[in-house]
Copies of this chain bind each other. A is one copy, B any other.
Amino acid sequence: VARAGEFDLIARYFAPLAAGAPGAFGLRDDAAAIEVAPGRRLVATADALVAGVHFMVGDAPGDIAAKMLRVNLSDLAAMGAEPRAYLMTLALPESVDDDWLAAFASELSAEQNRFGITLIGGDTVATSGPLTLSVTALGEAETVLRRDGARAGDTVFASGTIGDAALGLALLNDPSAAWTRALAAGDADHLIARYRRPEPRLRLGQRLIGLAGAAIDVSDGLVADLGHICEVSRLGARLRAADAPLSPAARRALQADPSLRNTVLAGGDDYELLFTAPPDKTEAVATLAADIALALTPIGDIVAGEGVTVLDETGAPIHLNQTGYRHF
């Protein structure tokens, strides 16, 4: 057989990932127990990833493992929570063999160390369909950042740079597109790495508590995710397209093909944080950016009304072809 039975598979690949959490009982019990520090709340989020939809069937198992965890940790970051542990269910097609599982588990181990989290439970089942992963990430926080805390007059900030992941995906889908010839050495790797290994902005999220009104991570796309804040805050927003923070690679891509602006503003998967703060916090935001060595760029404003208006450098509204990732 190319693959161990369920119990062997758990013992071999997954139980070692639970070694850091005594309450996981070595994945040999019915459930796991977690202590939540007094005065703190548990924060929980879940995501599912399907081969052929959320990642490519031939993607390296390590890349899949890393992205699966980081996407969930990004949700905790957007709540300002400190990550603690995760549960994972795997529906495995026959094509997934021991080599695949070993590489997958090895990267999970590296990612756990990087982010200070531990596997505490899950389930492994067989499927006749594509590889399907589901993760529930657990964290804790005293208070959480919400999406619905925006106020009219707030400034909208984005962390890091926007659009890299969408350009990385465009590059993977069409490696010989004309605009790729304008890239400098290392640009393509940078864009693809941003798509494959997004950086959950955990430190930023925790520091935004008490500072940000509303926060969300950029997963569906800059415009769509700002739209989510607007919708639940029952307000509108103006987004200055020219102020969206771009990496040097993204700047070169846009110079070569200005139509990529749509990809940058509407594409998702950056997992940067988008947040609002009242004008009197502008200085505190700048101090925080310097503290954590991460750009926090003002890109727009919250206004009365509804929906996101995207403005070009002259202040004229732009119509985007597609404002965000469609889940179906």
Q: With a CB–CB cut-off of 8 A, which chain B residues contact A45?
A: 30-32, 87, 121
Measured between C-beta atoms, what is the minimum distance from A275 to chain B in Å?
Answer: 12
User: B residues within 8 A CB of A146?
Assistant: 25, 29
Which residues on the B side are within 8 Å of A49 (C-beta)?
125
Closest to A87 in B: B46
Stretch among A72-80, A168-176, A245-253, A259-267 lining the B interface: A72-80
| List of B residues within 8 angstroms of A91 by Cβ | 48, 50, 91, 132
- A136 interface residue per 8 A CB criterion: yes
Tell me if A54 is interfacial: C-beta within 8 Å of chain B.
Answer: yes
- Check B127–A129 contact: CB distance below 8 A: yes
Q: Compute how far the CA of A182 lies from the CA of B327 in the bound complex, rounded to whole angstroms.
A: 52
- Which B residues are in CB contact (< 8 Å) with A33? 41-44, 79, 141, 144
Query: Within the assembled complex, what's the spacing in Å between the Cα atoms of A129 and B51?
Result: 10
Number of interface residues of A (CB under 8 A): 70
A93 to chain B, nearest CB (A): 8
**A295 → chain B, closest Cβ, in Å?**
21
* A44 near B31: Cβ-Cβ < 8 Å: yes
List B contacts of A121 (CB < 8 A). 44-46, 136
Q: Which residues on B sit within 8 Å (CB–CB) of A136?
A: 44, 46, 87, 121, 136
A130 at interface by CB-CB < 8 Å: yes
The verdict on A318 contacting chain B, using a C-beta distance below 8 Å, is no
- Please state if A328 and B3 are interface contacts (CB–CB under 8 Å): yes
Known contacts A25-B146, A46-B121, A136-B46; A81 and B129 CB within 8 A of each other: no
Cα distance A326–B9 when bound, in Å?
Answer: 13
What 0/1 readout, one digit per residue, does chain A (303-328) give for beta carbons within 8 Å of chain B? 00000000000000000000000111
Chain B residues lying within 8 Å of A122, measured Cβ to Cβ, are 46
Contacts of A78 on B, CB cut-off 8 Å? 30-31
Least Cβ distance of A198 to chain B in Å?
14
Residues in B with CB closer than 8 Å to A87 are 44-46, 136
A53 contacts chain B at the CB level, 8 A cutoff = yes
Question: Residues on A close to B: CB < 8 A?
Answer: 3, 5-7, 23, 25, 28-36, 38, 41-50, 52-54, 75-76, 78-79, 81, 85, 87-91, 120-130, 132, 134, 136-139, 141, 144, 146-148, 216-217, 228, 231-232, 326-328
A-B CB contact pairs (8 Å), 27 listed: A3-B328, A5-B326, A5-B328, A7-B327, A23-B41, A25-B147, A28-B231, A28-B232, A30-B79, A31-B44, A31-B45, A31-B78, A31-B137, A34-B42, A35-B41, A42-B138, A44-B87, A44-B136, A46-B123, A48-B89, A48-B91, A48-B123, A50-B125, A124-B327, A126-B327, A128-B129, A132-B132
